[in-house]
Structure 1
Amino acid sequence: MSRKHHYKALVTWTGNRGEGTTGYTSYDRNYTVQIDGKPDLKGSADTAFRGDASKYNPEDLFLISLSSCHMLWYLHLCADAGIVVSDYKDNPAGTMTEDPNGGHFTSVVLHPEVIITDASRIDEANELHREAHKQCFIANSCNFPVTHEANCSAVKP
């Protein structure tokens, strides 16, 4: 049985300085993302593309999507397995390559740091990252490798 899920957002360019796009340097790359019932998100291009470094860029958001999808699946799988996670942090890293045809991500590596409550289940907890990767909707939508280098430890009594 397949189910479809639909998502909507409003992305509004807010970078018109009064001249529109009369020239490559005549406008800002800023935008606002609005989704019903959620706080607005301020975005821009990466600074390499004349963006505002203080705002989220599409590449940041893409990396965050991969990391958070993996984390949510992992937490779900741990809960189902009776593994109690008390802390989870990730420091994902991605590589995007520009070429004459544009640009594309070539790899993303997730670096989850997980703390569980039962040291005897560390190996099992580490193994669940493989299943989380298989289940992640965002990783399954990518045409490049998304890998993980997880580190799991247990809370000290």
Structure 2
Amino acid sequence: MNNNLPIVLALVVGAALTWWVQGLRWDANVSKLKESHTAALKKQSDQAVIDLTNQKKRTEGAQTALAALDAKHTKELADEQAKNDRLRADVAAGTRRVRIAAANLATSQLIRNTTSGACSLGDAAQVELSGAGGRAILDLRASAIKDDEVIQYLQAYIDKFVNKY
């Protein structure tokens, strides 16, 4: 048994040395994997920061464009409402009157004065409305203007923002 002791010891030392070398190799492989994983995560993180910055710039641009669009249409609406208010005040004061050209509703043709020989728009019959009727027409006009501005605003919004994304 004494003869085999150095061989057994050499085998045990060789196995321990092999175990230790494999452990070092394992640690080196795990370290390389950690480094590559960390690099991949950093790359993804950097790309996410770039994407977030670009999205923030796009959002700010869209908000600026939306604010400009809102300001433009708000000003146009306010101008039209002020014009309509001036007309309403003139009708109420009696300095202006609302007249409507009479039309044949079935044919959408203006009714012409039958005593006139010439056929022009100036010959169309006109109906003059009372002050209350004129104010009602101007109220309808104001409502139509407001509705038109809202539709134009929404169409511009859709064209600029919804169709883009």
* Greater relative CO (CA pairs within 8 A, separation 6+): 2
TM-score for both structures, normalised by structure 1 = 0.26
TM-score for both structures, normalised by structure 2 = 0.25
Which of the pair is proportionally richer in strand? Answer: 1
